[in-house]
Structure 1
Amino acid sequence: MSPLARADRHPSGGHRVAVTGIGLKTPVGTTLDEAYAAVLAGKPAATRLDRLAEADLPVHIACLVPEFDTEPYLSRREARQIDRPAQLLLCAAADALADAALPAGQPRERIGVQIGTGIGGLTSMEDATAGYVHRPRDLPVHTVPRTMANSPACRVALRHGFQGVCTTYSSACASGGTALAEAARRIRYGELDVAVAGGVDAAISTVVLGSFARMRALSLRNDEPALASRPFDADRDGFVMGEGAVVLILEPWAAARARGARIHGEIAGYAETCDAFHIAAPHEDGEVAARCMRAAVADAGLALADIGHISAHGTSTVPGDRAEARAVARCYGAASPPVTAVKGVTGHLIGAAGALAAALALRCAADGLVPPIANLRSSPEADLLDLVQGAPRAVAPAPVLSNAFGFGGQNACLVLAPPT
């Protein structure tokens, strides 16, 4: 029997978790179709920003969400009152809910919002400090709601009247993956009927970029933005900061089928671990991350051999990519499944990164295509991984293992399966 031939119940107990809606606002597109086409084409979104150079930052490049019409989503008053992360998340959530087409009369107390963010309200606090540190009596009345890390998630709940749990997770660059895993857990065990889950960050600011640059985590290829993000490449020198919001709508599989919903796929398994090693560096041997991968696959009721390809966290930093390669090798030896890393195209969306990787992995799993790693020429990890380069690789439709790792040793691994 195929590992994808499943009943409506999950092999580990509880409901299977269907993904019935996807919405996103990212540097590579404001729809899933646009983002998927961009990663298959291997077309990087990084661009040079004059305002970064004018701020005397060492890094002048980033990946911005392209301009789009916000009027269908936000009133002018609303747009003035909320900050960019909340704006992006509200728009992505609206698209995801429209895609899911939930039935009228769905009990609002059974719908929850679970969102990850790595930076939270830091950029809004930075703006408030810069503009009002010497005149605090003039601070805008909306300063506190704009700077709260949970504000974007709460704005979604307020907009739609969702009265289930409304939780914000912060596990650095693993935040989006963590939020999806925790939302899937609540669906699996019947705590919610619907979860609005994903991640958001918009942190292209002086303090954030200056701080990451001081850590030597960012690429300094200011004159070659399209070549800057290069996961697993021998010449990688750091990641490119991105921004965006990604939302997935989760429901019990049986309920989604019963109402005739279009199902994008399934969150079939998940696991989380902590390296407990260093606040900013992964454990170089990859053992704890490897344990997380194995646990996620086992939670899905699958064997490692059932994974069709791996969507690596792949930030384009030397220690991060090296540790992840060793983690995969600990699972698979010298015969890994094909490995991709979308950040060569998308940049690093921090709290939204894991959710974007999951959304793209669902489409890849269904279509049987593995995107190439942008800017990959030669790799010191080539003896450990089967790295996809040059063009998309056709594989049989199969589950994808998607990794999201973050500062503090945060590891979140998801198994995304095609609809079967």
Structure 2
Amino acid sequence: MALAYMTGFNNEFETEALPGALPQGRNSPQRCAYGLYAEQFSGTAFTAPNATNARSWLYRMRPSVRHVRHFTPADRPLWLSAPAVYENAPLGQFRWNPIPLPDDATSFIGGIRTITTAGSVLSQAGMAAHVYGANKGMTDDYFFNADGEMLLVPEMGRLRIVSELGILEVEPLEICVLPRGMMFRVELMDGKARGYICENYGPRFTLPERGPIGANGLANPRDFKTPTAAYEEKETPCRVEVKWGGKFFQTEIGHSPLDVVAWHGNYAPYKYDLRHYNTIGSISFDHPDPSIFTVLTAPTGEPGTANIDLAIFPPRWMVAEDTFRPPWYHRNIMSEFMGLIEGQYDAKEEGFLPGGISLHNMMLPHGPDTFGFEKASHADLSPQKLDNTMAFMFETRLPQLVTEFAARHDSLQKDYIKCWDGLEKKFDGTIEGKT
């Protein structure tokens, strides 16, 4: 599988599956090579500033208007869009065990289940957090999401994502972003797969500003990869499904819609290996805010306040002196959906399993459980390697509303709140300094 390297989120890429298929010096020649059609695929307004403008030119066998027509409604009752208000949803801190894989034959799209929603799909603000579980590939079924881009975080099983612009193979400890409107299908390389999805309704993901960190560190642009051109010339009955305005529609066509022979531009799917993340931290005392773990951010009009952040908590050295090293107890304006890809999470060593989920909504307090607090309070503070771990967080400025599926599912840990029961009062006004 050939992959092109990204050297920045808005740099141009060009790739062709047949020699001479990509026009040179112009985007839309009077006649394209090989009898192809030229088509622009735009992910931002035409007049968006250069720094954020996103579009690609595609050279394909048929214009996409031949792929998406005569829609009929489709039913996906467990894939919800914001606002999706479950009136009986309780308020609190939540944690779920891994959602079991389906017993029946289920494709990637058919196995998506919504856990939380935030904002509004119609006003293009906010997000939805989903899990997916699949045991069947999408052979003649294709999908595109007109509502938002999809950030995939595999936890079990490799995915082969066959898109209009080429093929990406994605495994656990990697992530993949599928742009809004991109047609694709998903094959299962290991027969079954499970993971997480962040559906971003707002501005597309980009790299966070590094500020005083400087030019290097965190997720470096060179480590993001986008596919080279590949096409399907398949003249058999196929189905295209679309999510649009929170609803689902489908159409039957007599060919594959993945017929792009060449393309150039900067609006394309991409993947990133989380093991390449260059973690930044304190080498003296205390530890910086968790924003140092941001891989991608989808901004809002308010500087520094994200529609969504993707943060990870990877293996790293802990060296800070006289410091409580795990995440401190806190309340903040962001709502945190967390998942675990492998190993243990240092603030919750018990009860939080790979494939599991926790949700700590805006202004609701959370932090280490009793075991984690006691262990960290009395630990030897010599340098320690935190290893065998990879947790992540979908964080948004909006409240994340729990769906009925999530609130009523057997995997919900109804006694999760008890993990803090042992945090008893330790105050003694007669003793100065540390206890």
State the TM-score, normalizing by the size of structure 1.
0.24
Higher relative contact order (CA 8 A, sep 6+): 1
The structure in which a higher percent of residues are helix is 1
The structure in which a higher percent of residues are strand is 2
Bigger radius of gyration, 1 or 2? 2
State the TM-score, normalizing by the size of structure 2.
0.24
